[in-house]
Structure 1
Amino acid sequence: MSVVSGAPSEWITGRDGVPYPPEPWRLHADFGITLFLVPVAALPPEVAAHAPAGARMLRLGDRAIVGVAAVRYGEGSVLTYDELLVAVPVWHRGGLRVSISQIWVDSAASRTGGRELWGIPKHLMTTQRHASGGHLEATFTDAAGAPLASVSAEPTGRLPGRWPLPLPTAQRLPDVGWDDRISLNRMRAGIHSIRAEWRFDGPLSWLRSARPVVCVGLSRADITFGQ
């Protein structure tokens, strides 16, 4: 787990005493993303709890679109860490945005900064990962050591070039004072098709019977997160 020591003077000290970088965060990352179709009735309460009032989930009939991503923020980023997240696309204030409902990181600075800057409900985890030749094996466990998820992924194709991708988030996190927090973030990345196999446990067990429909990799992503 990443622990911040000797943080730069311009960093903000969080309510829990953990310092984190001010926005915007400049990040370089690789993503493995799978989109699932999940019956709306099977969604956990966190999905509605962390979306702003008035946000409407995108659906296909009685099923919601749910994205699960394993992310590695690497060298050159303001923080380096692994992330596991679950998010849903929502229509909010006349635009398409992403609402993150469950998320874990192995960086205390990312946890505290994500919560206080953008209302993202981050929790701490531990990551075991091995990447070789484009193949990724990763296992994620929560702060108490209980399993969350594991993924095995490898690329199967690639689009030429690098693509600009919007990444707006819309969040609610009342325990830090955010009832409606929009962040207009941006990214440029290479896009791959990937083959991914997920296993879910604990608070993600509701995804075990979900049907995967699309798997995508984003490589060498340059991200500006925050205003």
Structure 2
Amino acid sequence: MDGEEVIDLSPWVKTTTTEDDAQPSKIMLSLMAPLGTHSIVERCRNPDSRCVLIDDSVVWPDIIHEKLRTAWLMKAWRAHASSLSPAPRIVFDLRLPLHDVGDTNEKQSKMVWNRYAWEDERSFLLDWEQVSRAIMVIATGMKMRRQDEIAFEIAYGSGKNSWKQLQKLLSGFGHVSVTKLVKDGEVERTRPVAVRSESSASGMPSVQAVRLTKYMVPLSETHSTT
């Protein structure tokens, strides 16, 4: 099973040591960065989970989301973190992998947290609750093994994600800060705005983008409606 296969996460762990190199002073875990690797994304693919947007009884074929199966990856992160020496500062880097946007120097993620899916088109959905649970397990282990003061930092990229709940949970272990880190060339996702004309050649409303999700249905269920 994929979930049992060993994965080396060390390339996505950055450790800062003290001047005498005796103990780490900070550890940064780039939890979502492995999803920038094609082979890892393929292991997470779940085509049967694809959903499309239904708005006012109209199927929007350009707004398709596929839910990635990341439970095995979060399990691997929990195991890897347990092998690290606890540091006084732990950074959870939740920035999403980026890809080029057209022929420009701009970059944008193909992925989006499941709670913000309606703002994006053709995205991979990431389970925020699943990731936040993994963070809490890692933080608990670090706190128990350190047996001293510890601080946490939540780093994120573009988007309107709210980290208040996770910040509140982590605050039970120590000081928690939230930092926005934007990579070179990264652009903010913008909320699509509905643009309709009277009709298209097919007689259906012509839509370039949609502003609000009514509901999502599995892609397979739309076949009978088209």
TM-score range, shorter chain: under 0.3
- Give 1 or 2 for the bigger CA radius of gyration: 2
When normalised by structure 2's length, the TM-score is 0.27
Structure number with the higher strand fraction is: 1
Which is bigger in relative contact order (C-alpha 8 A, separation at least 6)? 1
Structure number with the higher helix fraction is: 2
When normalised by structure 1's length, the TM-score is 0.26
